[in-house]
Structure 1
Amino acid sequence: MKKHTTKIRVRYSETDQMGVVYHGNYAQFFEIGRTEWLRSLGVTYKNMETNGTMLPVVSLQCNFIKSALYDDVLTIHTFIKKKPMVKIEFYYEIKNQENELICTGNSVLAFMNMKTKKPMPCPEYVLNKIDL
């Protein structure tokens, strides 16, 4: 299972009046995790789109365990458990600077042909870089 770790610091604009991270921002944190996971393989969304592949989100789940606060340093652990086919499922664990689990989640994305707007298999150049 290929796992990638990304660190971010919670910005003031990502919090509510109580200094707690607004729940909608976790989708963005997950996106940061998966784009950096792909980048660690040498693949970027820009590269995929240049090659005619889109990767839209078809499902997103987030389980909140503890509040993240303004100025916390969060570690986003991103990984997959199985080889992607037409879909790829990412799993996430976000921890704070005390290594306390903040949330877990997953997202499913579909490989889509940009011209036909139809699902397609995971490109070979991506599969070749995934070590499971």
Structure 2
Amino acid sequence: MISASVSETIQFYHLDPMNVVWHGNYVQFFENARCALLDQIDYNYPQMDASGYVWPVVDMRVKYVRPCTFGQNITITATLREYENRLKIDYLISDTKTGQKLTKGFTIQVAVEKSSGEMLYRSPDFFIAKMEALV
């Protein structure tokens, strides 16, 4: 499947009172990697909008394995696992230097027709064809 990675250095503003990354910031890390992945397949948010579909996140899971700490360099990798009926993207956050797994998770997005607000139970045909040409 297709993957993309981004890097981040943990800053003071990412931390909670216990001096580890606040749990809600992991969603933003996932989003940064997801945008890199969507750029790679040439279907990021502007292309989604132009296609007449929006793809809201309808499910998300996060498994915190080890905390991220101030000054730590992390790599966030997003991998597209499913695309026929929904977008399922897996995420892995690891320490850039050691490769140690820190956090993992996934998101599920579904296609919604902008004009009607109707959710599709299958990804649009043009999107499936686009993905099959890439994989």
Using the size of structure 2 for normalisation, the TM-score is 0.87
Q: What's the secondary structure of 1:94's corresponding residue?
A: strand
Task: Give 1 or 2: higher helix fraction.
Answer: 2
Match of 1:41 in 2: 41
User: C-alpha separation between the residues in 1 aligned to 2:27 and 2:60?
Assistant: 8
Structure 1 residues 126, 35: closer, same or farther in 2, change over 3 A?
farther
55-64 or 43-52, larger mean C-alpha shift = 43-52
Structure 2 contact 53–114 (Cα < 8 Å) conserved: yes
2:15 alignment partner AA:
T
1:85 alignment partner AA:
E
Structure 1 residues 123, 9: closer, same or farther in 2, change over 3 A?
farther
Match of 1:21 in 2: 21
Match of 1:102 in 2: 102
Q: What's the secondary structure of 1:69's corresponding residue?
A: coil
- Displacement of 1:125 in angstroms is 4.5
- Displacement of 1:122 in angstroms is 2.5
Q: Structure 1 residue runs of 4+, over 6 Å off?
A: none
Structure 1 residues 11, 61: closer, same or farther in 2, change over 3 A?
same
User: C-alpha separation between the residues in 1 aligned to 2:15 and 2:126?
Assistant: 39
Structure 2 contact 81–87 (Cα < 8 Å) conserved: no
Match of 1:54 in 2: 54
Match of 1:92 in 2: 91
Using the size of structure 1 for normalisation, the TM-score is 0.89
User: C-alpha separation between the residues in 2 aligned to 1:123 and 1:32?
Assistant: 24
Match of 2:63 in 1: 63
User: C-alpha separation between the residues in 2 aligned to 1:55 and 1:30?
Assistant: 15
Give aligned pairs, total.
131
Aligned residues: percent identity?
21
Q: Structure 2 regions of 5+ residues with no counterpart?
A: none
Q: What's the secondary structure of 2:103's corresponding residue?
A: strand
- Displacement of 1:86 in angstroms is 3.4
Q: Structure 1 regions of 5+ residues with no counterpart?
A: none
Match of 1:78 in 2: 78
